[in-house]
Amino acid sequence: MTYLNERSIHFQSFNTIHGVFYEREYDDAPNAIMAMNEISRQLAEASGNPVTLPQIVLKWLVQQGVSVVPRTSHQGRLLENSAASIAAVPALDDLMMDSIRNSVGALLKKEDLKPPLASFFNRAEQGLMSIFWVNSETGEEILVRDNLGPGESYGEFGQKGHKFVALFKDTGVRKELVLNARHGQEQRFDVEL
């Protein structure tokens, strides 16, 4: 898209939904489907109308300036993929756009998305930091990385909504952090005193 936009080349997509969804097995990329289902649910709540996975892919393309030519022989899909239906889908935010791009790529490659990655950076000038994952059911804090020095980083896969605690050992300063990234995305936490 960057290449096309820099050169003012208009792109048109034909038969997109068939290529993304119907030539694939959902088992190839269950996390990608789960990520798109979450976006579909959020958009349906925002609009008060159901939003299907094909609609979010078409909205994603249209929002990037791509012309889409939906092709179908099914009457129901004709309405679902119409310009009016896609225009009625609420605008996608940057996080949604990124998640859909990653999900469509995973489906096309038949590779699933990795879980969300929490990247922790010790931005303190001095002091060691420990990272704990918080068990949502028990509240127990489970150590996942100890002695992370100034300027060092550490990555931990999790799930959206997982809570972490960064603890500076010397001072006892605690920072509570929540992972908001979706599958295939990274959230960076710059932790300082």
Residue 41 and residue 84: Cα distance in Å, rounded? 20
Half-sphere exposure of 184 (CA within 13 A, CB side): 24
pTM of the model: 0.70
Do 72 and 15 meet the contact criterion of CB atoms below 8 Å apart?
no
Q: For 118-136, what is the mean pLDDT?
A: 94
Per-residue pLDDT tens over the stretch 133-178: 999 899 999 999 999 999 999 999 998 899 999 999 889 999 999 9
Set out the domains of the chain in order of their start, with CATH numbers.
2-109 (no CATH), 117-191 (2.60.40.780)
Per-residue pLDDT tens over the stretch 64-117: 888 887 777 777 777 788 888 899 999 999 989 999 999 988 888 888 888 999
pLDDT at residue 20 tops 80: no
pLDDT of residue 93: 94
pLDDT band at 7 (very low <50, low <70, confident <90, very high): confident
Question: Which residues, 6+ apart, have CB-to-CB distance to 94 below 8 Å?
Answer: none
pLDDT band at 27 (very low <50, low <70, confident <90, very high): low
Residue 67 and residue 76: Cα distance in Å, rounded? 21
pLDDT of residue 16: 66
